[in-house]
Amino acid sequence: MTPEPPCEAFHDLLRGMAALSANPIVADVARLYGKGAPADLSIACNHKQFASKQWLVEALAATLPRPDGPVWVLGAWYGVLGALLLQDPRLAVPEVVSLDIDPGCAPVAETLNHRHVATGRFRAVTADMTALDFAAQSPAPGLVINTSCEHLDDVPGWIATLPAGLPLVLQSNDYYREPDHRSCVPTLDAFRAQAGLGEVWFAGERPAKNYTRFMLIGRR
Ligand SMILES: C[S@@+](CC[C@H](N)C(=O)[O-])C[C@H]1O[C@@H](n2cnc3c(N)ncnc32)[C@H](O)[C@@H]1O
């Protein structure tokens, strides 16, 4: 993904919002625009994206606020969820590993999360999530998050490769019209069946204008 030239209007506006809100993530997004951000960063940071990631953070705070190891975020795009996980005072996340198959994502995610890269709590990886061996990772992941299940060809096949007992947060949706979506599900029950988790601690849905998003938190 080639960065667009610095967008001065977005940069100025977001710096103003950061000053007004005193929110360090807004300041980090402003800084990213000042350095030249990809055109679709505005989609990754739109209100629907933040709402679905905040929903995840809320549910995680209520179910697994202290994961016992690094949190891997798969299909992480530009690392927005990692920024929220590391910012929320209700969560104790030792490290976020933000993984995406698109090599354009890692540099953007590390620029967005530059404060946490500096303290060793954030790193971005370019890889295919379906080719990873989580049992071989050291330290072992404390939690794996995949908010991009709808992008996989075979969700049950991927989940079967994960270590038994691994805590998971999964999101999918019923947005069949999107050409990149291959594993959409029509209902929350269909998502439960597709995931086949051994334990489910949270199951919920959030209707949006064009689709409904589903989320499961539990254990493989
Ligand atoms: C559009 S984005 C995020 C969509 C998701 N519903 C969300 O809101 O977070 C989907 C991301 O998944 C990534 N992706 C798709 N297949 C992948 C795979 N096999 N391994 C890693 N990343 C993948 C894409 O590169 C893209 O950045």
* pLDDT tens for the chain, residues 1 to 220: 555 666 788 888 888 898 888 899 999 999 999 998 898 999 999 999 999 999 999 999 999 999 999 999 999 999 999 999 999 999 999 999 999 999 999 999 999 999 999 999 999 999 999 999 999 999 999 999 999 999 999 999 999 999 999 999 999 999 999 999 999 999 999 999 999 999 999 999 999 889 999 999 999 9
Interior/surface letters 86-121, b for 16+ CB within 10 angstroms, e for the rest: bbbeebebebbbbbbeeebbbbbbbbbbebbbeeeb
State residue 180's pLDDT score.
92
Judgement on whether residues 10 and 109 belong to the same structural domain of the protein: no
Residues 184 and 168 in one domain: yes
Tokens at 78, concatenated:
């530009």
Q: Indicate if 9 and 85 belong to the same structural domain.
A: no
Rounded Cα distance, 24 and 19, in Å: 9
Report the nearest-CA residue for atom 5 of ligand 1.
Answer: 148
Question: Are 60 and 103 found together in one domain?
Answer: yes
Which CATH number do you get for residue 111?
3.40.50.150
Residues 122 and 144 in one domain: yes
pLDDT at 5: 61
Residues 142 and 70 in one domain: yes
129 and 74 inside one domain:
yes
Query: Are 213 and 204 a contacting pair, CB within 8 Å?
Result: no
34 and 107 belong to one structural domain: no
Q: How far is the CA of 144 from the centre of ligand 1 (A)?
A: 14
Ligand 1 pocket residue status of 151, Cβ below 6 Å: yes
Residues 110, 20 share a domain: no
**102 and 34 together in one domain:** no
Which residue range forms the structural domain that includes residue 152? 45-219
56 and 29 share a domain?
Answer: no
Q: How many angstroms does the Cα of residue 38 sit away from the middle of ligand 1?
A: 16
Cα 100 to ligand 1 centre (Å): 6
Based on the structure, what is the number of domains in the chain? 2
Asked if 178 and 90 sit in the same domain, the reply is: yes
The pTM assigned to this predicted structure is: 0.95
Residue 145, beta-bridge partner list: 73, 169
